[in-house]
Amino acid sequence: MSDFMELCLKRQSCRDFSDRRVEREKLTRCVEAARLAPSGCNAQPWSFVVVDDPKVVPEVAKCGQSMGINGFLSKAPAFFIVLEEQANLMPGLAKIVDSRYFVPGDLGAAVVHLCLEAASLDLGTCIIGMYDRPTLRALLSIPAEKNFGGYVAVGYPADAAVRPKVRKPIEQVVRYV
């Protein structure tokens, strides 16, 4: 098994964080990895807000609990908020598709790079899909025209045990031609 496959297995949603604070350097390294993700025309349509101020963290956590779930976020010591930035496509392409054509996939790639590097640093992450965007926008002074691209809780796991991955059998998802 490759080191990368092992890392894929280690990267899992962490829903119980320890009290340990995350070193700022490690948070930055996750962003370093995220910005190495591929993107359409290398447009890099992303930016990152790293939230680790103990005064702000609980407010960000609340934004992820807006559906009355995710109580565990109250223990997360830090968050990555991913924002969408303008994608400048090659002129030939820009005539055919709109500038946001590749952006959702590009953001998905950047977010998973972020989480994989976190796992490699023994950090746990949880990608939250639903969150109170208007409140988060006001809290972090994010301009109205900017879209959110991801909300990721990060911290040291209370329990570092790797759970078995639940996936469809590979035979069900692959075909050879």
Site for a second copy in 77-96 (CB under 8 A): 85, 92-93, 96
Query: Binding mask 49-78 vs a second copy (x if CB under 8 A, - otherwise)?
Result: xxxxx--x----------x-----------
| Distance (Å) of CA 166 to CA 9, 13, 153, 170 | 10, 12, 21, 11
Least distance from C-beta 165 to a second copy, angstroms?
Answer: 6
Residue 170, CB half-sphere, CA atoms under 13 Å: how many?
2
Query: Binding mask 150-169 vs a second copy (x if CB under 8 A, - otherwise)?
Result: x--------------xxxx-
Distance CA 123, CA 101 (A): 32
Cβ(21)–Cβ(51) under 8 Å?
no
* Choice between 115 and 153, CB closer to a second copy: 115
Tell which one of 24, 134, 159, 160 touches a second copy (CB under 8 A): 24
